[in-house]
Chain A
Amino acid sequence: MSKKLVVIGNGMAPGRALERLLDQAPEAYEITIFNAEPRVNYDRIMLSPVLSGEKTYQDILIHDDAWYEKHGITLKKGCKVTAIDCAGKTVTGADGSVAAYDKLLIATGSAPFIIPVPGKDLEGVLAYRDLDDVEAMLAAAEKGGSAVVIGGGLLGLEAAAGLKERGMDVTVLHLMPTLMERQLDTAAGYLLERAIEARGIKVVTGANTHEIVGDGKVEAVRLDDGTEIPADIVVMAVGIRPNAGLAKEAGLEVNRGIVVDDAMQTSDPDIFAVGECVEHRGHCYGLVAPLYEMAKVVAERLLDKEAGYEGSVTSTRLKVTGIDLFSAGDFAEGKDREEIVLRDAAGGIYKRLVVRDDKLIGIVLYGDTRDGAWFFQLMKDETPIGEMRETLIFGQNYAGGSPLDPTAAVAALPDDAEICGCNGVCKSSIVGAITEHGLTSIDGVRARTKASASCGSCTGLVEQLMSLTLGEGFTPGAVQPMCGCTDLGHDDVRRLIVAKELKSIPAVMQELEWKTSCGCAKCRPALNFYLIADWPGEYQDDYQSRFINERVHANIQKDGTYSVVPRMWGGMTSSAELRAIADVVDKFGIPTVKVTGGQRIDLLGVPKENLPAVWADLNAAGMVSGHAYAKGLRTVKTCVGTDWCRFGTQDSTGLGVKLEKMLWGSWTPHKVKLAVSGCPRNCAEATCKDIGVVCVDSGYEIHVGGAAGMHVKGTELLCTVPTEEEALEYCAAITQLYREQGRYLERIYKWMDRVGLDAIREQVVEDEARRTALFEKFLYSQRFAQRDPWAERVAGTDSHEFTPLNRIAAREAAE
């Protein structure tokens, strides 16, 4: 007589195992299945198409009732197993029935992870796991209203797309900064977010759910920052946990999942386990391909044949119509790995291959996933790729061809994209002028269109437009790339950030076809500055792209300690401030106190952990950060002016204080130092500063472009203005122009050498409208920049910076 096989669970994995078993030996076992769900076996991967309406339940059935009948299987629908007796070899169902087995197959699958927030048990909070969940979502969608999906992974996005398709207002909340961060790198995550938003789904990243609000039924989701998002249903799709409770109670070995060996055997040799409930070699799987591989092994083993499961290499595809996404393998970085990146900004395509020891080990494809299967096979087979390396990224069908077009980014710009910011010239006017007038030189284009005729920072782009229009007949001048991550120069990158409205670092890297996945220490701080300068109030500062000094708001010294410089407005201080400084020095044992060249006091040798406490004391005495570490305004040095000096012509100290109050906190391409001298004797040394004001009887001389660092350079006189108000406005306008045109780490004098004093004079002095615009833009961005970073950190911002993660004492270590 045949042996008895009992199966707990009726999902896809045991379904596949039974199919294989019955194919080979239909009579070997008498089979009983306990299924907690009141259904037959259906294709869970297809729940998303059911939700979106592309498929029905009937379409996704794998085994219908007839199938079970035909194979003489007893299927106990809606009957959960409550206990396994390993010694007596029986299982007990919720209905009290007891079934004896010779072999037992546990396939209890997994359970959705429900985040433990208040309100999680309210009516309307759903998971996304089985057909019941889908039916509940469909019922809610019929009434319309809003849905919040918690979790921006594969399942969450599929649920969101389906609910949107069904007419709901959908918001996706995701804890991490980019979507599907486990499968995608940031660039692909950015593209995905854009595509999801293009479907009218709101995406909130970095969103930590605080509470689900409602009286008996869901009404809204509240985030940690207090934001409330109205919701008629909430779908939790934050992950799954293997269902291993039953096995554990039966005394089987369980870690995260039910532990199985390569034969899919549990710690009891008569009990097998398969699917999402198992843990094999430390891995739990939630994708279908590995489950099928396990199923195959189980079937063989049930028939006492040799077979072993050795773990799976998995790949992921997002099943949202119109979004092509594929990822597989390991795409972390490392010295032993190389990456091949292809970005096609116009086509919205991103491909990244990670190669180690001449083999493919990681794949991310976005926008064009046609070669996913081919790459995946190369990866699984560990095929050496040496021969095809050069063309690998272009896919299976590629044979020879030309290298990537460096003008692609410019070609992809719309006709009305502004190329020259100074003179407001758009792409189509330039291309039109080139064609119409047969222009062949950059000077010709300048003369006709004025593009690139002022500051010249768009020259690279104009030249690329000429190449595009004229073909090989034109050779552009060589541009010094920003860094090894791109072929574009600083100016081109800046113009394209504005023209293409790029508002994040991943957006810049994708749209401008960066060659690395994460940039480098050269381009990231530069991009961070450009984005801050171009999108005040909109761009979110990228903390990890700042140099340490700007992260911790102090200057790192050679021994790893920091120096602290409080601001002394216009070089003025008081006994109270000096006393507070002296107290801080004593209290924290600060070894060195130094008067700086910028008329303030430097406290050197402060350990990082002490910085917030030092700042708290200085803040308490009314002092704020002097930004002595910043690529931004440093000091405004002054002389005593008419207050005390017998030669003074104006209130230079007062103007210095006003300038500093206006300019502090602004970020600039490099440091900016000012000085105001009360008379041409120039005691404040204003004529070797980035911007200097020299007071004269008739008003204020505005000087620019001095330096007293690596190069010593006197300023050039820009103009003379009669009033203090104008002096302030002109200085702000110059600073703003420098913020818009200066290349990162280019001091004002170098910028001036590059664009010419005349170009600055044209825009700041002669063109009143332009000056006013610059001034207003500057004041607008200051609204977001003028916050004392010390006070913020004393209040707790970035506290992780100032404490070690852990301390391990010798004593503890010896225990």
Chain B
Amino acid sequence: MNDMVMKMESEHWFTVGRLSEIPRRGARQIILPRGPIAVFRTQNDKVYAIDDKCPHKGGPLSQGIVHDGSVTCPLHNWVIDLQSGSAMGTDQGCVRTYAVRTDENGLVSVSLAAPSE
């Protein structure tokens, strides 16, 4: 089981849905065997994917308010930068990020391989 998950994470781009299915300034969850990741769409249609787990107390970031390129966690208002996954302001912590791409047909894929830079 673990091996299978490892394999998936080292090799695959997964098509997860259409850009239009994610609300602007919002997010949707992708459920993986080891927990959800959150795919965000900003006002300007930039798409980001990060673990759906706030580094503070594990809050579901997909449920937060999205503003510019960041999200505010619904549990205790930590603000997470969507591109780097790190907490902004004086809070310290980082959440794992994933590379995302949108093709010309509006299909969104997430790389479950190594974290994006």
A residues sitting closer than 8 Å to B (CB atoms) are: 177, 181-182, 185-186, 256, 331-337, 516-521, 524-525, 543-549, 551-552, 556, 558, 560, 800, 804-811, 813-814
B39 to A, closest residue via Cβ: A805
A584 to nearest B CB, angstroms?
Answer: 23
Q: From residue A309, how far is it (CB to closest CB) to chain B in Å?
A: 21
Interface contact tally, CB-CB below 8 A: 137
Can you name the residue of chain A whose Cβ is closest to the Cβ of B88? Answer: A335
| 14 A-B contact pairs sorted by A residue (CB < 8 Å) | A333-B44, A333-B46, A335-B86, A335-B88, A336-B83, A516-B67, A544-B23, A544-B66, A546-B65, A547-B65, A804-B28, A805-B28, A806-B31, A808-B8
Alpha-carbon distance A807/B39, docked complex (angstroms): 13
| A520 contacts B31, C-beta separation under 8 Å | no
B5 x A810 contact (CB < 8 A): yes
B57:A558 contact, CB within 8 angstroms: yes
User: Which residues of A sit under 8 angstroms from B8, Cβ to Cβ?
Assistant: 808, 810, 813-814
Instruction: Determine whether the beta carbon of A810 is less than 8 Å from that of B104.
Output: no
8 Å CB contact of A805 from B16, B24, B25, B63 = B16
CB-defined contacts of A548 to chain B, threshold 8 Å: 63-65, 74
Q: Are the C-beta atoms of B75 and A333 separated by less than 8 Å?
A: no
Question: B104 touching A809 by the CB < 8 A rule?
Answer: no
CB distance from B96 to the nearest CB of A (A): 15
Contact B16–A810 (Cβ < 8 Å): no
- The smallest beta-carbon distance between B24 and chain A, in angstroms, is 7
Considering only CB atoms, which chain A residue lies closest to B8 in the complex? A813
User: Residue among A256, A335, A337, A800 with the most chain B CB within 10 A?
Assistant: A335
| CA–CA, A180 and B84, complex, Å | 28
Interface centre among A517, A549, A556, A806 (most CB of B within 10 A): A806
For A516, A543, A808, which residue has the most chain B Cβ atoms within 10 angstroms?
A808
| Majority-rule SS of A interface residues | loop
Which one, B25, B31, B58, contacts A544 given CB within 8 A?
Answer: B25
| Per-residue A-contact encoding for B57-87, CB less than 8 Å = 1, 0 else | 1111001111111101011010101111010
- Report yes or no: B83 in contact with A335, Cβ–Cβ below 8 A: yes
Beta-carbon nearest neighbor of A485 in chain B: B67
B42 and A810 contacting across the interface, CB-CB below 8 Å? no
**In the assembled complex, which residues on chain B have CB atoms less than 8 Å from the CB atom of A521?**
64-65, 67, 72, 77, 79
A296 to chain B, nearest CB (A): 27
Q: Are B68 and A517 in contact (CB under 8 A)?
A: yes
Q: Is B95's CB within 8 Å of the partner chain A?
A: no
**Chain B residues positioned under 8 Å from A334 (CB to CB):** 46, 69, 81-83
17 more CB-based (< 8 A) A-B contacts, given A335-B83, A810-B4: A182-B45, A186-B43, A331-B44, A332-B42, A332-B44, A333-B46, A334-B81, A516-B67, A518-B67, A804-B30, A805-B30, A808-B8, A810-B5, A810-B33, A813-B4, A813-B33, A814-B8
Interchain nearest-CB distance for B65 vs A (Å): 4
Tell me whether B29 is interfacial, beta carbon within 8 Å.
Answer: yes
Quote the shortest CB–CB distance from A551 to chain B (angstroms): 8
**CA gap between A800 and B24 in the complex, in Å:** 12
Let me know if B21 and A805 touch, CB within 8 A: yes
Q: What residue of chain B has the Cβ atom nearest to residue A807's Cβ?
A: B31
| Alpha-carbon distance A525/B44, docked complex (angstroms) | 20
Cβ-defined contact, A804 with B31, below 8 A: yes
Residue from B68, B69, B75, B112 with most neighbouring chain A CB atoms (10 Å):
B68
Q: Evaluate contact between B65 and A545: CB separation under 8 angstroms.
A: yes
Residues of the B chain whose Cβ atoms lie less than 8 Å from the Cβ of A808: 8, 14, 16, 30-33, 112
Query: Closest residue of chain A to B11, judged by CB?
Result: A813
B89 to chain A, nearest CB (A): 10
Cα distance, A454 to B69, chains bound together (Å):
41
Instruction: Tell me the smallest distance from the CB of B46 to a CB of chain A, in Å.
Output: 4
How far does the Cβ of B95 sit from chain A's closest Cβ, in whole Å?
A: 13
* CB <8 Å contact, B81 and A335: yes
CB-CB under 8 A from A517, the residues of chain B are 43, 68
> Roughly how many angstroms separate A102 CA and B5 CA in the complex, as a whole number?
55
- The residues of A that contact B39 with a CB separation of less than 8 Å are 805
